[in-house]
Structure formats: C-alpha cells, structure tokens
Amino acid sequence: MKALINLVEKVKPHFEKGGRFEKLHRTFEAFETFLFVKGDVTHSGAHIRDAMDMKRTMVHVIIALMPPLLFGIWNVGFQHYKAIGLEVEFIDQVLFGLIKVLPIVVVSYVTGLAIEFIFASARDHEVNEGFLVSGMLIPLVIPVTTPLWMVAVATAFAVVIGKEVFGGTGMNILNPALLARAFLFFAYPSYLSGEVWIETTLQEGQQLVDGFSGATALAVMAAGEGTMPSDFDMFFGFIPGSIGETSAFAILLGAIVLVATGVGSLRIMASVFFGGLAMGLILNLFAVNEFMAMPAYKHLIMGGFAFGAVYMATDPVSASQTGVGKYIYGVLIGVITVLIRVVNPAYPEGMMLAILFMNVFAPLIDHYVVEANVKRRMKRMERVHLQTQA
Amino acid sequence: MSKIIKIKKGLNIPLAGEAERILNTAPRSAFYAVCPPDFHGLTPKMLVREGDKVKAGSPLFFDKYNEKILFTSPVSGTFSELVRGEKRRILKVVIQADDTDEWIDFGAVSPESITRDQIVEKLLQSGLWPALRQRPYAVVANPEQTPKAIFVSAFDSAPVAADADFIVNGQEAEFQTGLDALRKLTPGKVHLGVHAQATKSQVFLNARGVQINTFSGPHPAGNVGIQIHHVDPVNKGEVVWHVGVQHVIAIGRLFMKGIYDASAIVALAGPEVLNPRYYRVIAGAQIKEITAGNLRVEEDLRQRIISGDALSGTKVAANDFLRFYHNLITVIPEGDKPEILGWIMPNLDKFSVSRSFPAFLMPWKKFRLNTNIRSGERPFVVTGLYEKVLPMDIMPMPLLKSIMINDIDMMEKLGIYEVAPEDFALCEYVCPSKIEIQQHIREGLDNLQKEFA
C-alpha cells in the first residue's frame, strides 16, 4: 500500500506545472484521488469534516443501480431467447445480456468521462464525480438495440449541451441522462419506439416465434390492442422495455439503498408515486376508454415510472432544492407522467418528458418557496414596527 | 420554568476526549498576548511602544474606527513584541509577564448605583467592552448603540465543549453582578439560555433579573445565535448583544473588585489529550503552558491545536496564545496521511451524518476525528442536508448563493442579519461538496456592513 502511494508521489512531478504532462494535471489528479483520499487538511472554518464526500455519494447511487442493471442484463437475454422460442440455461441468458449491455455501458462511460476530463482540464477544476452516475443511467434508460455510435452521440450531447455549457456538474438545469434519452427519442425516433425493446437479430436457422410481439405494456395500452402482461410480470420485470426500467422490484431494492443511506430523497420518490397514483385515480373517475379505466396502480409498475421516480427525479441538481418544493416537484412529475401517457397517445412513455419538464420548472417552484420564507420574515418585521409605534 | 424551546435540527458530533471535571492551575506563562484578529474587522492603533511597562488593565491599543474601544493587557509586565502578518497586519500584541500582577484600579461599585453611561464607560476603560458582541454582523458591539436585548448562553453544545456549570461553580456573586451590569445596558431583557437536561447549576437556574429560556436538543442549541433566533430574532435595523458566561463573570469582578481580572477557566479536551480536564489560567495565556505533557506523543503524528471548538475555533501553534472569546482548547490529530481507496472503504473509524458509514450503528462510540478534508471543493450538488443541521427558519442554500453573487438585497431578505459564521459551522461540517461555508457567511456579513458603512 505504502509502495503505491510512493509510486504515485514519484510520477506526480511530471503532471505538475512545468512537468512533461502538465496538460494532464487534472486527469492525473482524478486518478490520484480515486486511488486514495489525499492527506489534505482543513485550513479554515470547521477543523473536522464529515467523512461523506462526492465520490462516496455517487458510488452509493451506483450501488443502488446494481439491482436494475443486473436484472436488466438477464432480462435482455431472457426476452431474446423467448422471442426466438429457445429454451436455454440461465447462464446463457445472462451471457447474451452481458454481450449486449456491457458495450453500451462502456461506450457511455468512455464518451462521457473523456468529455468531462477535457472540460476539467480546460477550465482547470477538479474532475467532478457526477458523470459516474449519469454514465450508468444512460444505458439503463435506452433499448438494448440502440446502436453504439448513437449511444456515444447522445452521451456527448447530454454532457456538452446538457451540462458543460452551463458550467458543469451542479450547474445543469436538466438531468443529463434523461437529456441523452430525449435526444435519441427526437433525433432517431424509429430507434426508440416500436419493435426495439428486444434484441431480435436472428442468426441462421433462427426465427421468431408465432405471434411474437415486442411491444411494451404502455404501447399495448396506447394502441388499445394486444395483450397486457400480468401484474406479476410487470412488477418483477419479465417484460420488454429499456434495459434497466422493467423490474419495479429491482428498482425498489435500489430505492431502499438510496433512502437508507440518505443519498436519495424519499420526499421526491414518494411524491412522484403519490402523484402518479392520484392522477390515475382521477382519470379512472372520468374513464371514457380502456387506458383511462386501467387500475391506477398499474401506472407505477409500467414503463419507466418506477425507474424515473427513484433514480431520475431524485437527481439533486436538476430537482427542486427546497423541502416543500420537493413535494410539489415530485407530485407534479407523477401527475404529468400519467397525463402524457393516457391523454397524449403520440408519446406512450410520459416519464421522461414529465421529469425534463419539471426540471425546467424546479427553479420556479424554489423561487416561490424562498419567497414564502422571505414574506414570513417581512411580516415579523412589520409586527415589530407596529408594536414599537403603538 | 415555563416552556422548553425544543431544538430538533442539529447534530452532536461524538468527538472523543471530553474534559473531566477536575480543575488544575496552569503555571503562569512567560508571555501573554492579545490578538487583534480575534475581533473581526478591527484595525488596531497601538498605544504602547515595545519595552513599555504595563499593568493588568493598561490599554494596549484601540479600535481605529471606534476610538473609545480599548484593548487592555490581561497581566502586568512588559510589552515585548508586536507580531505582524501579511501586509503588516498586527496579529499578536505580546506581553512578557511579571511574576505577580498589579492591577489598575477602576473602582469597585455596585452596577445598581450608577448610570448606564457610567457602566459603559467602565467597560470601555477596563478593556472588557470587546466581550460584548452584536448581531447583526457578528462583531464587537458598538458602544453608540442600544441593543433591544442581551443574550447569554449558559451552555455550550459544541464537540467536547467546556461545561459552563463547572466554570461558574463558586462564582455565583460575580456572575450575578455581571448580569446586573448587563441589565442596565438594554431597555429590553437580558436572556439567559439554559439546557433542559444539561444545565444543573443553581447559579444559572436561580439567576435574578433575567429571563431564563430553556432549550433542549443537540448542537447548535447552545449557540447564542440559535437562541436569539428562537426568542427574539434580529430584524433589519435592530441590534442584539451577546456575552459569554466567562466574560459575564469577569464583568462581575470588575464591578466587585474594581479591576480587570482576566483569570478564566478553560477546558483542555479532544482525542489527543491524555488527561482532558480544566485549567485555571489568565486570558491570553500561552498554549504550551496548558498543554505541556498532556498530549499524546507518537512518531509521525502531527496534531492540530485549536483555541475554541473543532467546528469554528482558531488554529494555533503550541507557542501561540489562548484567544479572547474561547474557554476551550481542542487537540485533534492532523489528517495528513493518504488513505488507499478511503472514499469507498467501510471506514469504521469515521463519523458521518450519512448512513453510508457504519458510524450510525454505534451511537455510543466516540471518535478520534482528524483534520482531513477528504475531497476537493465541489459545486453544490446534494440538497436538503444543511437544513437538517440548522435549527433556524433560514434557508441556508439560497442565502449562501445570494452571498456568492453578492446580492445584498436578497441576503437581507433571507435573514443575514440574524446569522454568524459559527451558526453555519455544522453546515460546513456536513457539506459533502466541502464548501467553506463559514468563510462565505463572513464575506456576506462584511459586504453587508460595507454597504451600510
């Protein structure tokens, strides 16, 4: 261990001012702080600091993303073999999933981190950890059939236009991972709707099973034809969909990690679920078609609702930042998602647009929450002035 | 006792090494000092030259912008050295102490029998005026103003803080006389904040002529700023003063004995102290006389000595001096050693408010916390965390942002008049982005003060 530290110390001068690789200073620093917590001490203010830092915060989100990722990998294989009617071992399903999913994850990380490092060097600030999470979220919200170059383009768009133009991590208005998905959705619509959710590239001698349909539950409901999967399948995720979004159960496990460690906001998660459920119930009351009459709870286990509520809406940077604001923000996401799903048949999945929409409105919500605090203080002052005059 | 003000937000940091209730007398230091940086915003003008003889209570320097405010020597001796820092800023006024003290006589008198102006005059002359601090701006009180109330917090909730009950023990008359003097300075009330469980001393509970406010809950309940906020908050245009317990006693002695008797009781505490306990000293004493032989010694171990508490105290060296407002010396290890993959390890020896560390499973454990900052500074990312440790109806993040962009109007609206850097010390402690919050608050207060100067 000591040897490693010594090694790093030995090569360090090359990356410092005047060194051969001076330009890579920030890159070196990122790897150095990744390897070990530096011996930097406080110099002013609080002499002791909480052990929590950005790296540990982000790594807990990654841990929370493991259940949907692992389930997603298996489900990619499961859906594929189901579509071609082959009975294979569990391990084959996982292997197939790995071969398909891993490259997407790698492309997302390499593209995004490369851009982050370049911007950190250009702006001369430390490399921020935010993309560690975004880089994992992006693969989980797109279909497994998305071409790799498209993943790279979408990631680059999200990081540069979504984040860096605003000043980097912490300054962005929109959730970068969702922006990547929205970019794909509008730039290459044919790759993000229809029969894209299951990898059905056939090899010689293979063919799709009779009556195969790769449609998601949302598409079935929106079109009003086809068969809906059972609640059981939808909850546990044995359905087609984006890589990480299908299993509400796996997402729930992640949610427990986020809430237990205090990294994710329970306030937002619960509000989103509440909003979705409430809007579903309201639509039930005025039901004029099958989708409106669908039991409200189904919204929560269909499509990307759970994934969006747990991992996307809770992004602290793009969400509302005030306590009360978080409730309003969360409820509105739930409400708008269900509205888009049911009322606007052009977009079967409303979660992405609802969150992006509310990302834009979060500062406005916060503004009014802050104003309320200001008004309270003003009133208190007026009261005192009245008393002194009386 | 009437109603208890329950403080729910906050955090007790389980730092090891709380002082035992044993009182030692520290040997008399060879040198004592008054340090102008203790008094924020002060520009000192010297009244003595190096080599001048001074008595305890002799003026050393005054405030350039408020010539009435004198700063006096805590001991008798010879003004031996003026320590300057960057831009020739005066950091320390060092006095080489005589073996025994001679005091300047300011005249013993009952505060009841003299006018407010006479009390103010006495405090200014004796050098005890700087013990009075004000909100807004968290600086030494302006003698031209009259505060709407004066606050004294009778307990300190900071990590390993000195126990005010123990300090006040046996000094009942002095404390009460001090309160009597304060009472004449304000047309409003003098408030004494006590803790529902921790405060046992009858000196506090039976204090006369003051309103006793009972608080419960974790740090920062003992911060006078939090108490002001919950009892009689500062609005724009209002002024509130506050004084520490030890200084109330010193003020009491001034009126009872007629001298500036700067003796004080300080706690030496923290994980690096072998036998944490209390010491009788004179204000401005040299640290090494107090810590001598009582610190852990290990090879390759560096220590941080802090005058004050670990959250908002002043970093000092062993040959440095006890600071004016502090009654605690905290010693913690420096965290200057790298830790392999330290950010992802379980870290059994680390404390965190976050449950991503196992510390929350061991609520009984006291930690040997060090000065490692653990990360470089990041922009604001995590939200809702500061709010959990700031028991005020003030929105910390919007306030900080308004300070960062120097939006005076917004700062006022968000309640900057009520705050001091120390009230945000816990926010700074928990901040995962490692933002220097106390410094930002201080900048905000400075900018505000300049705006209205």
Shared-domain flag, residues B342 and B417: no
Chain B interface disruption, residue of A12, A43, A44, A48, most B CBs within 10 A: A48
pLDDT at B342 over 90: no
Give me the helix-helix angle, A351-389 and A323-343, nearest 10°: 140
Shared-domain flag, residues B205 and B245: yes
Residue of A196, A198, A247 lying closest to A93 (CA atoms): A198
Residue of A49, A374, A45 lying closest to B442 (CA atoms): A45
Does the distance separating the beta carbons of B431 and A47 come in below 8 Å?
A: no
Residues 56-95 of B with CB under 8 A from A: none
Does the distance separating the beta carbons of A33 and B376 come in below 8 Å?
A: yes
pLDDT of residue B452: 85
Chain A interface disruption, residue of B230, B235, B373, most A CBs within 10 A: B373
A80 membership: H or E segment, kind and range = helix A54-83
Does the distance separating the beta carbons of A47 and B378 come in below 8 Å?
A: no
pLDDT of residue B61: 97
Residue of B246, B121, B125 lying closest to B174 (CA atoms): B246
Average pLDDT over residues B166-195: 95
pLDDT of residue A384: 81
Asked whether residue B290 is domain-assigned, the answer is yes
- What's the pLDDT tens digit per position in B104-114? 999 999 999 99
Q: Are B262 and B130 in contact (CB under 8 A)?
A: no
Domain span including residue B282: 268-361
pLDDT of residue B290: 94
- Can you read off the two tokens belonging to residue A132? 């560690």
Chain A residues closer than 8 Å to B378 by CB: 54, 126, 128-129, 169-170
Chunked into runs of 10 residues, chain A (390 residues) has average pLDDT values of 78 81 82 83 91 91 96 95 90 95 97 93 87 95 95 96 91 94 93 83 80 81 82 92 94 96 94 96 90 91 94 95 96 95 82 95 96 93 79
- Residue B214 banded pLDDT, cuts 50, 70, 90: very high
Shared-domain flag, residues B272 and B203: no
Backbone angles phi, psi at B59, to 5 degrees: -65, 140
Shared-domain flag, residues B183 and B44: yes
Q: Given A47, A126, A326, which is nearest B304 (Cβ)?
A: A47
Which residues have CB under 8 Å from B330's CB, separation 6+?
A47, B15, B159, B160, B269, B270, B305, B306, B308, B309, B310, B313
B90 membership: H or E segment, kind and range = strand B90-97
pLDDT at B359 over 90: no
Which residues have CB under 8 Å from A66's CB, separation 6+?
A254
Query: What is chain B's mean pLDDT, rounded?
Result: 94
Chain B residues closer than 8 Å to A370 by CB: 395, 398, 414
| Residue where a domain stops, chosen among B257, B286, B313 | B257
Average pLDDT over residues B362-383: 90
Does the distance separating the beta carbons of A316 and B382 come in below 8 Å?
A: yes
Shared-domain flag, residues B338 and B317: yes
Shared-domain flag, residues B345 and B428: no
Residues 292-311 of B with CB under 8 A from A: 304, 306, 310-311
Shared-domain flag, residues B283 and B251: no
Q: Given A36, A126, A384, which is nearest B340 (Cβ)?
A: A36
3-state secondary structure B390-419: CCCCCCHHHHHHHHHCCCHHHHHHCCHHHC
Q: Distance from B252 to chain A by nearest Cα, in Å? A: 32
Cβ of residue B363 closer than 8 Å to a chain A Cβ: no
Shared-domain flag, residues B298 and B355: yes
Chain B interface disruption, residue of A40, A47, A124, A365, most B CBs within 10 A: A47
Residue of A131, A180, A173, A129 lying closest to A317 (CA atoms): A173
- What's the pLDDT tens digit per position in B8-50? 999 999 999 999 999 999 999 999 999 999 999 999 999 999 9
Query: Looking at this predicted complex, what is its ipTM?
Result: 0.92
Cis bond upstream, residue A68 (ω within 30): no
Q: What is the total count of domains within chain B?
A: 3
Average pLDDT over residues B62-69: 94
The whole model's pTM is what? 0.93
Shared-domain flag, residues B227 and B189: yes
Shared-domain flag, residues B43 and B103: yes
Shared-domain flag, residues B36 and B178: yes
- What's the pLDDT tens digit per position in B114-159? 999 999 999 999 999 999 999 999 999 999 999 999 999 999 999 9
| CA atoms of A358 and A360, how far apart (whole Å) | 5
| CA atoms of B211 and A135, how far apart (whole Å) | 58
pLDDT at B199 over 70: yes
Does the distance separating the beta carbons of B432 and A52 come in below 8 Å?
A: yes
Q: Distance from A317 to chain B by nearest Cα, in Å? A: 5
Shared-domain flag, residues B192 and B104: yes
pLDDT of residue A228: 85
Asked whether residue B333 is domain-assigned, the answer is yes
Asked whether residue B277 is domain-assigned, the answer is yes
Asked whether residue B381 is domain-assigned, the answer is no
Percentage helix, strand, coil, to 5, in chain A? 65, 0, 30
